[in-house]
Amino acid sequence: MRILFCGDVAGRAGRDILAERLPALREELALDLVIVNGENAAGGFGITPEICKALYQVGADAITLGNHAWDQRGTERYIETDPRLIRARNYPRGTPGSAGALLHTQDGRSVFVFQVLTQLFMDPIGEPFACVEETLQEYRLGHSVDAIVLDVHGEATSEKQALAYLADGRVSLVAGTHTHVPTADHRILPAGTAYISDVGMCGAYESIIGLALDGPMARFTRKRPGPRAAPAQGEATLCAVLVETDDETGLARHVGTLRQGGILAEAWPV
């Protein structure tokens, strides 16, 4: 099975490059499933029902969120109606929305997708390690599901790596998100799980993590609020990771990164 995970979509520039490139990538890479992190898709903060529908139309099968999940008004109402829009699983019980999605490919194979938010340098919610352990007792790779993808949304690479080793051999892919900077450490861990510390973003890299320069620069240099933060509008790069899984075990056979467009060096996963 071939699964593509696209990094955090940062504003219109990120949405536009997905609309431009993703339909062709689905065909060219013979993709069985596409997952997109969409927590920054609406003006850099949160997501809207209209953007969700647009991402599905261009080829996304599921959308994960993150710490900006609730930034747009109306998200709490919409998220209850969309089982493919996935909020972090370690939010407190009773939080609205899907804490994981069981998806099926066109040929009937099953893929479970879930996300946890980390704790270091983040707003702590539920403990992510216990959440992952409990989840993997319920969803068993190669038994109850054919593939499992875990989106680890957080700042610290150490915490992401620890969660990946906890899940090694029990999920197909651990994809780090949130920092918007693609890392070069994609690999298959000893027990067969594909891993990358951060997929990067789908957005304009002539920016500060996807934001136009004025707002962040004012905060760093003047130490007080500056212009309102807004997504950069330059030429975007699409950053993603591709995992190919073994049909019997669900573990990774190959992992590679994909970068297209914009100012970053291009990369092709196979």
Q: Tell me whether residue 151 is in a domain.
A: yes
**Candidate from 75-79, 171-175, 201-205 with smallest mean pLDDT:** 75-79
Q: Give the pLDDT score at 228.
A: 83
Give the pLDDT band of residue 223 (cuts 50, 70, 90): confident
Read out DSSP for 66-107? -TTTT-STTHHHHHTT-TTEE--TTSPTT-SSBS-EEEE-TT
Number of structural domains in the chain:
1
Q: Tell me whether residue 108 is in a domain.
A: yes
- The predicted model scores a pTM of 0.97
Q: What is the pLDDT of residues 37-62, one digit of tens each?
A: 999 999 999 999 999 999 999 999 99
Q: Tell me whether residue 28 is in a domain.
A: yes
Phi-psi region of 142 (alpha: psi -120 to 50; beta: other; left: phi over 0): left
- Which residue has 């992952």 as its token pair? 132
Q: Tell me whether residue 239 is in a domain.
A: yes
CATH code of residue 247: 3.60.21.10
- Residues taking part in catalysis: 68
Q: Tell me whether residue 79 is in a domain.
A: yes
**pLDDT, average across residues 210-229:** 88
Q: Tell me whether residue 170 is in a domain.
A: yes
Q: Give the pLDDT score at 224.
A: 80
Q: What is the pLDDT of residues 105-141, one digit of tens each?
A: 999 999 999 999 999 999 889 999 999 999 999 999 9
Q: What is the pLDDT of residues 60-69, one digit of tens each?
A: 999 999 999 9
Residue 190: give the domain boundaries: 2-205+233-260
